[in-house]
Structure 1
């Protein structure tokens, strides 16, 4: 079960990320109070680099010298969110154009939950094609537009074709 991450520590983490022009996607504090492990998932519009992750880690280790909470953490792990984590920012969508995403919408009466191929993405929303429907009907031109405000969750589906 994740431990509670104090708000002031979250701000400190976000600041360390912003120094590397990165965004903190998620922070998970796990383990026990005696053996805490902090996992940071960070990203940029271009994709996070190993060097940026290392620099964030070094910055936090340096800050642990003067911050009792950070000093109590046994391990800090900084990485990209990976394909199994939901997309949380609009700028994560363009680099997934052409991939199939599993969507959950806030209102299923308006948009049906399911797998859609991402065709376009910008700061306003996305354009997708329902892969299953287009295969059944033979109509590859049926597209749907969704503003981000209607998307509850979107995860890239891993394909082994």
Structure 2
């Protein structure tokens, strides 16, 4: 089901000019509930989510893969969901991220740059300076394939 919905939306996004910068982040299906998380390089709006939802409803009502009754939720991923794609990192340059590596290390810092192969965080680190510790700001490069989880940290 997840693959079918993803393929359906990717085709829709390539044929509709308004949605050409949109991409599927995640699709979750359980019982009669379908959750679809979509993002856009130019930012997701309520109107875009609504049009995508109506498009999916027409498919679900006609093909009935979930039966007669179902719950459909189409939304943007939100800041509490981990970043999954390079495009999401590009949108979040300048924001604070918490990155956990596959080796279990956690880094928190401002995302300075992102490439398809690595991200660069500007992070404050405590280092030993003689008998005292001092705080230094340094760039930390993390290979994309070494990232287990990245979450945008909200500061108030």
TM-score normalised by L of structure 1: 0.76
Q: Distance in 2 between matches of 1:118 and 1:6?
A: 31
CA RMSD of aligned residues (A): 2.4
2:136 maps to what in 1?
A: 139
More strand by proportion, 1 or 2?
2
How many residues align structurally? Answer: 147
Per the alignment, do residues 94 and 43 of structure 1 end up closer, same or farther by CA in structure 2, a change over 3 Å counting? same
Q: For residues 65-96 of structure 1, what are the alpha-carbon distances to aligned partners after superposition, in whole Å with 9 as ceiling and x for unaligned?
A: 32021453522111100000000011111222
The one of 98, 101, 125 equivalent to 2:97 is: 101
Q: Following TM superposition, by how much is the alpha carbon of 1:7 offset from its aligned partner in structure 2, in angstroms? A: 4.0
Q: Following TM superposition, by how much is the alpha carbon of 1:6 offset from its aligned partner in structure 2, in angstroms? A: 5.7
Q: Distance in 1 between matches of 2:110 and 2:2?
A: 38
Query: Partner of 1:48: helix, strand, or coil?
Result: coil
The one of 129, 149, 152 equivalent to 2:148 is: 152
The one of 24, 37, 57 equivalent to 2:33 is: 37
Moved over 6 A (4+): none
1:51 maps to what in 2?
A: 47
2:28 maps to what in 1?
A: 28
Moved more, 123-132 or 57-66: 123-132
